[in-house]
Structure 1
Amino acid sequence: MIRHTVVFTLKHAAGSPEEQAFLGDALILERIPGVEKFERLRQVSPKADFDFGFSMEFADQAAYRSYNDHPDHVAFVRDRWVPEVLRFQEIDYVAL
């Protein structure tokens, strides 16, 4: 299993319609074959300076690769992520 996570801050004002649209449109990612346990998260720790997170799991490397190459993921990254995300940190985990 691979747990793919990303924390990020948007360019949009907090609570803005643009912020809500981005978070809503991100739900397309959970419909991509191979995505399991998709979550959209609000970051609340005072120790981190990102606002949101996405977390999802994949059964194996092949499922993760298929997700990365899927046209819906590629389009979301190109059309929404790149223009709207100010900064981010991506971390992928496997069990020890």
Structure 2
Amino acid sequence: MMIRHTVTFRLKHEKGSEQEKAFLKLANNLSSISTVKNFELLKQVSSKNNFDFGLSMEFDNQADYDFYSNNPKHNEFVQKYWIPEVDDFLEIDYEKYS
């Protein structure tokens, strides 16, 4: 069953700053992990929450999602950039309801 992994987040950086741009460029590199499909880096535009960006990607199955989650490239990004630079986030993983 396909899994859609999403996360919406707010950075500690000033909006439009070089640090923000650098973080988003690094986040975009997660798309190169082999099991990631339909990767999107998104700008959040709703006034109903205080997040600024989103990531969305799909995986064919749980094994592919686990491969991504345990991938050294993903783990390095989380430790080196996500933890120190993200102010707040909400992660949601979906499977199609049937």
What is the TM-score of this pair, normalised by structure 2?
0.96
Tell me by how many angstroms 1:25 deviates: 1.0
Residue type at the aligned position of 2:41:
R
Structure 2 CA distance for aligned equivalents of residues 80 and 41 of structure 1: 18
Supply the distance in 1 between the matched residues of 2:50 and 2:67 (Cα, whole angstroms). Answer: 31
Which residue does the alignment assign to 1:42? 43
Task: Supply the AA of the counterpart residue of 1:3.
Answer: R
Residue type of the partner of 2:62?
Answer: Q
How far is the alpha carbon of 1:49 from its aligned partner? 1.0
Q: Report whether the alignment pairs 1:32 with 2:29.
A: no
Structure 2 equivalent of residue 3 of structure 1: 4
Q: Which moved more, 1:81-90 or 1:25-34?
A: 25-34
Instruction: Give the C-alpha shift of residue 26 in structure 1.
Output: 1.0
1:81 maps to 82
In the TM superposition, structure 1's runs of 4+ consecutive aligned residues that sit over 3 Å from their partners are: none
TM-score under structure 1 length normalisation: 0.98
State the percentage of identical aligned residues.
54
**Amino acid corresponding to residue 77 of structure 2 in structure 1:** F
Which residues of 2 match residues 4-23 of structure 1 at below 5 A?
A: 4-23=5-24
Q: How many residues are matched?
A: 96
- In structure 2, stretches of 5+ residues that fail to align are none
Deviations along 1:13-37, one digit per CA (max 9) or x if unpaired, are 0000000000011122000010000
Unmatched 5+ stretches in structure 1? none
**Considering only aligned residues, what root-mean-square deviation do their CA atoms show, in Å?**
0.5
Deviation of 1:71 (Å): 0.3
Distance in 1, Cα, partners of 2:57 & 2:77: 16
Other-structure match for 2:71: 70
Q: Deviations over 1:14-73 (max 9, x none)?
A: 000000000011122000010000000000001111000000000000000000000000
Quick one: distance in 2 between partners of 1:28 and 1:73? Answer: 9
